[in-house]
């Protein structure tokens, strides 16, 4: 059985040092919540790099293809258009006219896809009650989630206090 505990800190430097010390004692730090980005926090926690950039690339590529397909269907296939006085009737020759819309649609898909993915992964969908561990964790306090055996609970609580946690919640 593992037990989750949340240590509340009021300073980002203390939090960073706490992670290092707890790790050296063999206590697993699984996550941290901070009201602003803290330099070096990802590294200290040993988090993997986000894959949202890969997702964003895929969404963008999808947008490019969809936009070109749409304009090919509308202006080349279904209703051939004489673009800029150049009746060439094919995508390859008319492509400069389609680039601005393709670009916009790529950005639209990449941006929206990225935001939606981020919300899904963070479980921040509309209607979901967010898991607020501490009222001030979005203001000026930092939360560190640690995991350990149930039997070690008192020792973990003691270590958290030692490294500067102002409060401990389970």
For binding to another protein (CB under 8 A), which residues are involved? Answer: 39-40, 49, 53, 57, 83-86, 96-97, 99-100
**Strand positions, DSSP E, the chain:** 2-9, 28-33, 142-149, 167-169
Going by C-beta distance under 8 Å and a sequence separation of 6 or more, which residues neighbour residue 99? none
Closest distance of CB 169 from another protein, Å: 31
Beta-carbon neighbour count of residue 118 at 10 Å?
A: 13
Task: Pick between residue 36 and residue 139 the one whose CB is nearest to another protein.
Answer: 36
Task: Pick between residue 101 and residue 125 the one whose CB is nearest to another protein.
Answer: 101
d(C-alpha 105, C-alpha 68), whole Å = 10
Buried b (16+ CB within 10 A) or exposed e, 17-33: ebbeebeeeebebeebb
Task: Pick between residue 54 and residue 150 the one whose CB is nearest to another protein.
Answer: 54
Task: Pick between residue 57 and residue 119 the one whose CB is nearest to another protein.
Answer: 57
């Amino acid at each position: 059985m593992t037990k989750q505990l949340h240590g509340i800190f009021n300073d980002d430097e203390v939090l960073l040092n706490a992670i290092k010390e707890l790790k050296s004692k063999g206590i697993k730090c699984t996550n941290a919540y901070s009201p602003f980005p803290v330099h070096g926090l990802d590294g200290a926690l040993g988090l993997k790099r986000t894959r949202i950039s890969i997702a964003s690339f895929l969404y963008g590529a999808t947008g490019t293809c969809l936009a070109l397909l749409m304009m090919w269907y509308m202006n080349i296939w279904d209703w051939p258009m004489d673009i800029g006085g150049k009746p060439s009737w094919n995508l390859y020759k008319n492509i400069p006219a389609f680039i601005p819309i393709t670009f916009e649609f790529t950005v639209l898909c990449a941006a929206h896809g990225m935001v939606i993915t981020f919300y899904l992964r963070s479980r921040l969908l509309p209607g979901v009650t967010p898991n607020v561990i501490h009222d001030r964790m979005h203001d000026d306090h930092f939360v560190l989630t640690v995991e350990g055996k149930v039997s070690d609970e008192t020792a973990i609580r003691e270590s958290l206090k030692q490294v500067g946690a102002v409060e401990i919640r389970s």
